Amino acid sequence: MARPYWTGQVQISLVSFGVSLYVATESKSQISFHQISRSTGERIRHQKVLQSAAEGDEPAEAVRNDEIVKGYEYSKGKYVIIEPGELDNLRVPSKHTIAVSQFIDQSDLNPEYVEKPYFVVPENDMQTEAFAVVRQALVNTGKVAIGKVAFSGREHIVAVTPAGANERGMMAYTLRYQNEIRDQRDYFRDIKDAEISEDSLEMAEALIAKRSAKFDLGKFEDGYEVAVKELVDAKLKNLPIPKDEAPRVSNGKVVNLMDALRKSLGTETASSRPPKKPVASTKEPARKGMGLVKTPAAKGVRRKSA
């Protein structure tokens, strides 16, 4: 098993138990590019140099790694030097403990707030009982534990929830702060209301039902990566370079929604009964599902740094 990304305590009031967090995702892309000189084909290397040297006429000398430290710009062009050990010793309780501050319904955790997933396991066998009891309690109540955890140079909001029904572990999801989410009203307010006929709605629902299937991530592949490999292969073998095909341009005619739905369902000879009176509007009630904060992101929680 890989090394844990974070190890510490989960604390719920007076109950606490040790856990380890493991990063749940990894990059599998096999496509990477380097910067090279068009004229010589040599790879370009980047060096860290002093700003004053880079702005001068003389060749700049690279700065050694052991001379480079972090600096916080407190005024234009003025910095406070921060040593690595000083950051390690910051007094941030959530570096060691996820203190659960509240529980929320699973339906209140909006997808746009989720940043990155982690696997949560007991730190050792002695922690398993408390871990299992809290996990089962979350399953039975349909709740998600909310707290904070500090790593990677900042303090994150974190949601802890049971893993799949047949799993024994839990999942932790770091969440974005409210001020990191753009106000959706800026994008949605200009969408016009539209009347929806019952016929077209029934056809759309039938199309969805026809295309519905159990979600299987293994069926998907990165089409961009496949196309890049085809391009590289063509260049190596001196074959014609594959080119993007322009999308089909309509002949200017407005597509009838009902005709498009019928064709999609393969029912072009559907009943010609008269359409029913419009019964709905695209205006939807306030949405539920994965969100910590229901208010717009105009005035968010100020972010702390670890």
pLDDT tens digit string along 112-160? 999 999 999 999 999 999 999 999 999 999 999 999 999 998 999 999 9
Q: What pLDDT does 286 receive?
A: 46
Q: How many CB atoms lie within 10 A of CB 172?
A: 24
Give which of 218, 223, 98, 204 is closest to 161, Cα–Cα: 98
What is the model's pTM? 0.74
Q: What pLDDT does 271 receive?
A: 45
Lowest mean pLDDT among 6-20, 28-42, 51-65, 177-191: 51-65
* Residue-averaged pLDDT of the chain: 84
Q: What pLDDT does 258 receive?
A: 86
- Over range 164-173, report the average pLDDT: 91
- Over range 252-268, report the average pLDDT: 77
Domains present along the chain, CATH in parentheses: 1-24+77-192+283-306 (2.40.290.10), 194-281 (no CATH)
pLDDT for 62 beyond 80: yes
User: φ, ψ for residue 196 (rounded to 5)?
Assistant: -115, 120
pLDDT level of residue 292 (50, 70, 90 thresholds): very low
Answer with the residue of higher pLDDT: 277 or 80.
80
Q: What pLDDT does 146 receive?
A: 97
**Whole-number Å distance between alpha carbons of 269 and 272:** 8
**Whole-number Å distance between alpha carbons of 174 and 92:** 17
Three-state DSSP state, 99: strand
- Over range 18-46, report the average pLDDT: 88
Q: What pLDDT does 88 receive?
A: 84
> CA 224, 175, 163: angle at the middle one, nearest 5?
85
Q: What pLDDT does 141 receive?
A: 96
Size of the chain in residues: 306
